[in-house]
Structure 1
Amino acid sequence: MALGSGSLEVPANKKLCGMVNRLAFLCAGRAANHVGLGRLFLACCTRRKYAAPAREAIRVRGLSECSEVVVSNKATISQCVSNLAVTQGDARAFSTSEGSVSWRAYDEAANELARALVHLGVGVGDRVGVLLPDGPGVHVAFLAIERAGAVIVGAGARSGVKELVHLFGLTQCTVLISAAEHQGLGAVALRAELAEADVSLTLHLIVDSESGRQSEPLSETAGMDEEDAAARRHDPDDIWLLNSTSGTTGMPKCVVHDQSRWFVFHDFAVEAGQLDQNDVFMSVVPAPFGFGIWTAHVTPVLLGVPTVLMTGFDADAALDLIEQHRVTVLAAVSTQFIMMLNSAKIDSCDLSSLRVLFTGGEAVPRDRASVFEEKTGAKVLQFYGSNEVGAVSRTTLDDSSDRRWTTAGRVIKEMKVRLFDEQGADVTHTGRGQPGCLGPTLSQGYYGDPQANAKLYRDDGWMMLGDIVTIDDEGYLTVVGRTDDFIIRGGKNISAAAVEEQVGTHPRVAHVGVVAMPDPVFGERVCAFVELDGRSALDLNTLCAYLREHGTSKEYLPEHLVVLDALPRAAGGKIAKAELCSHVAALSNKLDSATCTQGKD
C-alpha cells in the first residue's frame, strides 16, 4: 500500500489486517505518537464488537466486466452499486434539475474513471482529492477512487485555495479530480496556485460535475483483470475517506473514515426513520462531510433507492424538486429547512409525499420544527454526534413531538456514552458533563495531527465531543453548552480561531476577536471585532474582498465587522471574549442584516 513512507505486508487475517493497515496509515501521516497509537488501537478493537444486522449476500460484477463474484454481507459501496447496476440498471440512482442518472450509468461512469486512474498510475492507498460541487459527479468520483484502491480526500466545494493547500499538503495528495473551474479559477490557474504553495499535482483529471465523466477521456484505458481488481478491492474496514472538519485553531483537521462506521450509522438511521426500499431521498447537504456521506452516498445505495441532489441549495428549487420527485426523506440542516419555510412556495407546492426530515449540525428550533411538521406532515428527526464520533443520540418516529423538538433524542446504547467533568472524572451518574463514546460509529481519528488526537481520545480509548450535555432518567440527551470556540452557522462548525487567523492577515488589522452573533435563519453568524493599527478605516466589503483575493474559504469570511478603539482584555492579557459576546447581544438588533451576505450564500 502506497503510504508515502514505506509499504505494509498484508497479514492473512483480514480483520487484523484492517486494523494494522489503519494504524500504519495513520503513522505514515504522523497522526499518532506512542500514546496515541494505544488509544487508536483500543478504539479500533472495541468498536468492532458491534454486530450489524445481517444483510443478504449479493452478486456483483468485477471491475473488468468479464465475470461475476459473490460477496458477503460485508459488501462495500462499490460492490453494492455494481449489484444494483445488474438488478435494477434502468432505475434512477440520482435526479437533479438537469435530469436523472441510472444505476447502470452510475456504475459505468465510475468504472470508466477508475480505469483511467489506474491507467495513469494511481496506486493502492494513494490519496486522490475530489473538488466537485454536489451532484452525481462527486459520487461517481468517490466510487471510482474506491475501485482504484485509492483513498478519497474530500474537499468542500466552498473551500478556498488556502484550505485546499492545507488539506492536500497534509494528506500528501498529488492527484485531483475536479470540474473545469473552481470559484472562478480555471484548472491551470488552480494548479499554479497550489504549486506556488508547494502542493504539486502529478495528475489532474477534469470531469463533468453532472455525469462524472472526463471532459477529455483517454482514447484507450486498459481494463483491470480479476487479479488486479481483487488486489485493489476495499474491505469495509479499510481507510476509505479523509475529509476536513473544523478545528478550534488554525486550518481544519482531517478525519479518517472507513465504510464500516457508516454502515452502522445506516442501521441506526433505518431504525430511527423506518426507512425502506420505497423511499426517495433528497440530500441538500455537502457530500464530502458526514451528514452528506450517509444521506447521499451510503444509505440510498444500501436501500437501492434514488436520491435527489442539488448543485447549490435554493429553497424554492428544493421545494419544486420535492414535489416533482415525490421525495419521502429529506436531509437538510436547520437553516435550510427554515429557508424552505420562509419561501412563498411552501404553501403552493405539494409536499404530501414527505414523511421524514433528518436534520442536525445545530440545535433544532422548536417553533420552526413544529411549523414544518404542520405544513408538510413529515416528522423532524435528528442525530446528535460529530464527524469524528458519528452518532451519539437520535430521535425516532416513536418519540413524542415534545421529545423530538426539545432534545437530541435518546442515547444510542451501542455507543457506550459516558459523561466526564473538567478534570476527566466519570460523572455519568450526575447526568451532566462532556460526552465521550466508545462505539461502532467512531472514526479513526485525525490524520497527521497527534496533538489533536491527544485531545480527541482519552487514555482509555473513549473519544470525546466538544459539548456539555445533560442526560435525563429516560436517556434523552440535551446539549447545554460547548467546550470549544465554534460558531455554528447553518449546521457548519466554523472555528473562531481560524477566522481570526484569516482576518488578522489584513495589513490594517492589529488585533481581532471573533464571536457568534445570533441569527433567526442561520442560528449564528460570524462577527469580527477588530482593533486597527491606527491607519485608515476598514469596512466589511473591503475586508472580505481582500480575504477572497488571498484564497480564504467562504466559511471564514466575517459577516459583521465592528471596529473598536481597543479590544477588551482579560486579566491575563487575552482578548475578553465574554465582553465581546455581551457587545454582540447589544448590537444584534441594530446591525443591518444586509451586511450578512458577504459571499457566503
Structure 2
Amino acid sequence: MSGDGRRRFPDPNGLHACFDAVLREAPGAEAVVDGELRLTFGAWWRRSGIAAAALSGLGVRAGDVVCLVLPSSADFAVCYVAAMRLNAIVTAANPRLGPDEIAHIIGRTSPAVIVTDAPGSLPPAGAAAVRSPAELLEGGAEMAGAAPSSPADPAVIVWTTGTTGRPKGAWFDHRSLQIMAREMGPLSRPGDRKLMPVPFAHAAFMTRVHDQLIHRSALVLTPREWTARGMLDLLVRERVTVGQGVPTQWEKLVALEELAGADLSRLRLVSTGAGRVPPSLVRAMRERLGCPVVVRYASTEVPLCFGTDLDDPVELVASTVGRALGGVRAEIRAGDGTRLGPGVTGRVYLRSRGSMRGYWREPGPTAETMAPDGWIASSDLGSLDAAGNLTIVGRADDAYIRGGYNVHPSEVEPVLLAHPRIQRATVVGAPAPVIGELGVAFAVPAGAGPPPETAEIRAWCRGRIADYKAPDIVVWLDDLPVNATYKIDRTELRRRAEDAVARQRRPHPRD
C-alpha cells in the first residue's frame, strides 16, 4: 500500500519496463554523450540504482519531490532516473536562473532532497537535504528494480520560463509521458543520435525519457557555454542524425562560413521551434544544412502539440507550424469563448491527455488556464486553415496598442528581416504618454558600415505594412539577449525599450 492508501502495481508501460527492454536488447548502446563521457543505457541504469539507494537512505519515498539544480549532463540524467525509480516526483531548476527564481521553485515544491554541484550558490533550502551527484554515487549499495507506480501518479514538474511573472510548475503524470513518447512523428527513429542544445530542465528532456528509451536514441549534449561553432563541431564529429535547436541557435549556425565544408551527411532532419521562425530562416536551414526542416510548436503546458512533416513544401514550413500531433485537439476561440472558423485569428486552445495535469500547488492559475474538461488556453494567437495547419500570429501578451491600434510583433519582424542591413530583429512595445505604447525594434546589423538611421527603417516598413506598425525607435545591438532556454529574452528587451522611450523624451541639454 502507498502512503495515500492506494495499492500500486508495476506499470507495464512505465520507465522501469522501458529500461528492461533496452537492457535486454541494447545495454551497450550510447544514451548520453557528455563531452568525454559516454554513458550507455546499461551504465545509466546501474548508476541510477546507486543514486536511488542513496536517495532512499536520505528518506526519499514515493510522492516526495527531488529537485535537480544541475546543468545538462550525464549526472542530471542519472539523478532523474534515480528519483523516478523511487516513484518520487522530479523537478529541476536551470542553474542559469536567478536566485529568486530558484528560491521560488524550491519554496513551491518543498523538495525532500536537492541535488546540485554548486551548493554554495543555492538560496536557503529549508528542510531539504542537499547533495551533489558525486555524493549520491559514492555509496556501494545499488537499488534493484523500481518502486511500483500507477499511470496517474505525478512524475515530473516542469517550470515555465517566467517571461510574464514568476515561473509556474506544470506537472505531468506517468501516463502523460508515455503518450508523448509514442507520438513524436519524424523526430524519433530507432538509433537516432540527437543534438541536445537546450537545458535538461526544459520539457524537451524532462518529458522525453520514455521516447529516448523506446527508440534507443543517444543525446549529444552541447557544451555548457553554447557557441555556434561548437554546435557545428558536434554535428559533424558525433554523426548527429537529428539536429535540434531554437531559432536563435540556428540563425547563428547557418551564418557560419565553416558550414560550407562541413560533413553533415548523417543529418536526416533538423527541428526548430520554441519561438517565431522567420521564413527566411527556414529556407536558409534547408539550403545550408542539406536536409528537411521541421517546425514544432509546443509549450511547457503542452510539450507535444503541432508540427510539420518531412515532405511538407517550403512555403508551408515557412509560414505555419503544421498540424496537430497525435491525439492533440486544437480550437481557435474569440474572447467570449466562441469557436472561430478557418482563417480567423483568435486565442489558441489545446487539449491532449499528454498535456500537463495542472500547475503544481496553484489552483487559481490552473483554473484560469485549464478547464475541467482538459482544454488549455494558450498564450498564443493564431488561425487554423481548412487542412488544420496552424499559423501563429504571436503571443497575446506580446501585442501592444499604439494610438488605439493593435500591433503584433510577428507582423513587423519579417518586414525588418527583409531589410538588407538587418540580420536579426525583435520588436516590443513600451509605454508612452498620449499614444499609449510605442514600438521599439532591437536589431543586429548585417554588413559593414554604420547601421541605418531609424527614419530609413521606418520608411522601409511603411512601404510594406501600415504606417502605425513601423517601429518608432530602432536600437542596434551586437546580439539579442537570450534567457536560460536560449529564447529571445523579451522581458529584458521590454526593460530596455522603456529606457529607450525615456531617453527619447528627455530634453536635450541645449533645449
Alignment partner, residue 81 of structure 1: 19
Alignment partner, residue 476 of structure 2: 591
Alignment partner, residue 432 of structure 2: 568
Equivalent positions of 1:134-283 (< 5 A) are: 134-179=72-117, 181=118, 187=119, 189-191=120-122, 194-195=123-124, 199-207=125-133, 213-214=134-135, 217-218=138-139, 220-221=140-141, 223-224=142-143, 229=146, 232-247=147-162, 249-269=164-184, 271-273=185-187, 275-283=188-196
Partner of 1:140, secondary structure, is helix
Give 1:190's aligned amino acid: S
Query: What are the superposed Cα offsets for residues 453-476 of structure 1, whole Å, 9 maximum, x if unpaired?
Result: 122123543111111111111211
Change (3 A) 1:224 1:90: closer
Equivalent positions of 1:126-525 (< 5 A) are: 126-179=64-117, 181=118, 187=119, 189-191=120-122, 194-195=123-124, 199-207=125-133, 213-214=134-135, 217-218=138-139, 220-221=140-141, 223-224=142-143, 229=146, 232-247=147-162, 249-269=164-184, 271-273=185-187, 275-293=188-206, 297-312=209-224, 313-412=226-325, 414-428=327-341, 431-458=344-371, 460-485=373-398, 524=426
Whether the 8 Å contact between 1:146 and 1:234 is mirrored in structure 2 is no
Change (3 A) 1:303 1:593: same
- TM-score (ref. length: structure 1): 0.67
Partner of 1:359, secondary structure, is strand
Partner of 2:182, secondary structure, is helix
Q: Which whole-Å CA distance do the structure 1 matches of 2:485 and 2:212 have between them?
A: 29
Whether the 8 Å contact between 1:467 and 1:481 is mirrored in structure 2 is yes
| Structure 2 gap ranges (5+) | 401-415, 442-467, 487-511
Alignment partner, residue 536 of structure 1: none
Offset of residue 379 of structure 1: 1.0
Whether the 8 Å contact between 2:222 and 2:234 is mirrored in structure 1 is no
Change (3 A) 1:378 1:486: farther
Offset of residue 206 of structure 1: 0.7
> Aligned-residue CA RMSD in angstroms?
3.2
Offset of residue 485 of structure 1: 4.5
Query: What are the superposed Cα offsets for residues 81-123 of structure 1, whole Å, 9 maximum, x if unpaired?
Result: 3432343222211113323111111111111100100012111
Q: Which whole-Å CA distance do the structure 2 matches of 1:260 and 1:249 have between them?
A: 29
| Structure 1 gap ranges (5+) | 15-70, 182-186, 208-212, 488-517, 530-566
Q: Higher relative contact order by CA 8 Å / sep ≥ 6: 1 or 2?
A: 1
Whether the 8 Å contact between 1:174 and 1:200 is mirrored in structure 2 is no
Whether the 8 Å contact between 2:438 and 2:471 is mirrored in structure 1 is no
Q: Which whole-Å CA distance do the structure 2 matches of 1:431 and 1:343 have between them?
A: 39
Partner of 2:347, secondary structure, is strand
Whether the 8 Å contact between 1:97 and 1:321 is mirrored in structure 2 is no
Q: Which whole-Å CA distance do the structure 2 matches of 1:383 and 1:597 have between them?
A: 19
Give 2:476's aligned amino acid: L
Whether the 8 Å contact between 1:168 and 1:174 is mirrored in structure 2 is no
Change (3 A) 1:384 1:463: same
Query: What are the superposed Cα offsets for residues 212-270 of structure 1, whole Å, 9 maximum, x if unpaired?
Result: x437723x54x5577xx4xx23334421111210346431111101233233333332x
How many residue pairs align between the two structures?
440
Instruction: Give the share of equivalent positions with the same residue, in percent.
Output: 23
Partner of 1:386, secondary structure, is coil
Offset of residue 127 of structure 1: 0.7
Q: Which whole-Å CA distance do the structure 2 matches of 1:342 and 1:445 have between them?
A: 40
Change (3 A) 1:323 1:386: same
Q: Which whole-Å CA distance do the structure 2 matches of 1:140 and 1:204 have between them?
A: 16
Q: Which whole-Å CA distance do the structure 2 matches of 1:154 and 1:591 have between them?
A: 35
Give 1:425's aligned amino acid: T
Change (3 A) 1:9 1:526: farther
- TM-score (ref. length: structure 2): 0.77
Partner of 1:320, secondary structure, is helix
Offset of residue 304 of structure 1: 0.9
